């Protein structure tokens, strides 16, 4: 009976030692990302199709592209591309946004379990002011067609005032617009120089802002 008790004691001690050794030798989980530094600028404004490039730095070891999560409030508002490059002291994280939809959005980055994260960056996308609305305005009434003159009525020829010929008046049009403009900047970046006579002949109407 005494030998049996000694055997039990030694068995317990042996199991305890083995457990301690296994626990001490178990590899610790590798912590790749140690710190994500905050973005320096937190508020941006742009227009549709504009590109914004934003950078920050990350401290850690063996950080891969797949170790980072980008949290964007609306993934349909931008075309997004991001990359990470290893440096001597830290990793440089770069994200590029191309705006596709107007509105107010925000994003931040983190590690996979969201335990380490950056600050939040706000992006406001504005409508392009030079973008013309090609659809007919609902506020404009339908213009009645000009009635044909009655041949029985006598027409009088009135003297024309000394105004510049429409062939010499410079206007600006756009490939898809319905208006012609006197001001080139009002026509936008796709402005094409033409004459008022040509613009009228193809059915364009004057811009209410600059004509």
97/176 same-domain check? no
Average pLDDT value for the chain:
80
179/106 same-domain check? no
End-to-end Cα separation, the chain, in angstroms:
114
User: Are residues 134 and 178 in contact, defined by beta-carbon separation less than 8 angstroms?
Assistant: yes
pLDDT at 191: 81
Q: Which of 126, 157, 190 is the last residue of a domain?
A: 126
The structure tokens listed for 210 are: 């600059």
Q: In this model, does residue 197 exceed pLDDT 60? A: yes
**Lowest-pLDDT choice from 40-49, 85-94, 184-193:** 184-193
Q: In this model, does residue 162 exceed pLDDT 50? A: no
Most confident segment among 32-36, 105-109, 137-141, 160-164:
105-109
40/117 same-domain check? yes
Task: Provide the number of structural domains found in the chain.
Answer: 2
Q: Do the domain assignments include residue 164? A: no
Residue percentage of the chain with pLDDT more than 90? 38
Question: In sequence order, what E strands does 21-163 have?
Answer: 33-36, 43-47, 51-60, 68-72, 78-86, 91-99, 103-111, 121-126
**For the segment 88-135, what is each residue's pLDDT rounded down to a tens digit?**
889 999 999 999 999 999 999 999 999 999 999 999 999 877 655 555
User: Are residues 200 and 166 in contact, defined by beta-carbon separation less than 8 angstroms?
Assistant: yes
């Amino acid at each position: 009976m005494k030998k049996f008790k000694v055997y039990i004691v030694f068995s317990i001690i042996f199991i305890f030692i083995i457990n301690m050794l296994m626990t001490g030798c178990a590899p610790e989980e590798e912590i790749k990302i140690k710190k994500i530094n905050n973005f320096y600028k937190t508020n941006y404004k742009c227009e549709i199709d504009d590109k914004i490039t934003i950078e920050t730095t990350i401290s850690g070891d063996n950080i891969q592209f797949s170790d980072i999560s980008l949290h964007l409030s609306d993934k349909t508002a931008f075309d997004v591309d991001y990359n990470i490059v290893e440096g001597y002291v830290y990793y440089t994280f770069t994200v590029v946004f191309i705006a596709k939809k107007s509105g107010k959005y925000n994003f931040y980055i983190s590690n996979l379990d969201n335990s380490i994260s950056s600050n939040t960056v706000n992006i406001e996308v504005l409508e392009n002011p030079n973008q013309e609305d090609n659809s007919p305005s609902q506020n404009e009434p339908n213009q009645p067609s000009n009635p044909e003159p009655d041949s029985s009525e006598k027409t009088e020829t009135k003297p024309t005032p000394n105004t510049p010929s429409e062939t010499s008046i410079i206007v600006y049009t756009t490939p898809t617009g319905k208006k012609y403009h006197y001001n080139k900047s009002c026509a936008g970046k796709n402005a094409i120089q033409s004459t008022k006579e040509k613009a009228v002949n193809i059915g364009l109407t004057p811009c209410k802002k600059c004509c």
